[in-house]
Amino acid sequence: MNKKYNTVVFDLDGTLLNTLEDLADATNYALQQFGMPVRTMDEIRRFVGNGVRTLMIRAVPEGDKNPKFEEVFNCFKIYYGEHCNDKTCAYEGIMELLQELKDKGYAVAIVSNKIDFAVKELQERYFKNLISVAIGEREGVLRKPAPDTVITALQELGKTKEEAVYVGDSDVDIMTAKNVGIPCISVEWGFRDRKFLLEHGAEHLIKKPEEIWKYI
């Protein structure tokens, strides 16, 4: 990787924000309401990374073939909407990194498989003065690993893909960056470990946010 990048596009869950406990609490609340077995934190960690519907398909016995699935999923969405910030917080070192990126003039965006309005709400709550563009799934913008969210973010920033790197914590992020045609920096503090990331094609790994400077 050369160091000619001026734009950094971040995944959200597992990269900037640790949302795992709130997702786990909402998942298990919904499962309990319908008499279904609850899931462990390790199971939830394996289930996340490709949107909340996929999370619940993996968590509910028989997935979306379960006749109660839509009811359980709706229960999850209502509860998570009310409790999505109970325990969620930025990972250690993230706020300092974002401030330094801003101070040095980098363009920064968030892309996520969450619904677009939720991504914008989280950006406003946690990163209001640090990140100007936040893109989620919406009509005409396909979810990752399709390149749409990243391409839309770059358009809103007024940047080209040649100027950008992508930062994420999952195999979906690696595929997304590949589909856009930009380098991916994979983080080891998120929902997937180093072994998993390497097995899924990770080329540039960092253990702490400040290590990003090796690549940009």
Q: 3-state class of 166 per DSSP?
A: strand
Per residue in 92-129, pLDDT (tens digit) is 999 999 999 999 999 999 999 887 888 898 999 999 99
pLDDT over threshold 60, residue 154:
yes
Band of pLDDT at residue 146, cut at 50, 70 and 90: very high
Q: Which of 118, 112, 121, 122 is nearest to 143 (CA)?
A: 112
Distance CA 194, CA 78 (A): 34
Domain ranges of the chain: 7-18+88-214, 20-83
Residue 124 one-letter amino acid: E
- In CATH, the number for domain 7-18+88-214 is 3.40.50.1000
Confidence of residue 211 (pLDDT cuts 50, 70, 90): very high
Nearest alpha carbon to residue 75 among 90, 65, 60, 87: 60
The Cα angle at residue 75 between residues 40 and 85, in degrees rounded to 5: 65
Task: Determine contact, residues 35/104, Cβ cutoff 8 Å.
Answer: no
pLDDT value at residue 84: 86
Which of 86, 94, 91, 162 has its CA nearest to residue 131?
94
Pairing of strands 204-206, 184-187: parallel
Q: Rg of the chain over CA atoms, in angstroms?
A: 17
Q: What is the pTM of this model?
A: 0.91
**If you classify domain 20-83 with CATH, what class do you get?**
mainly alpha
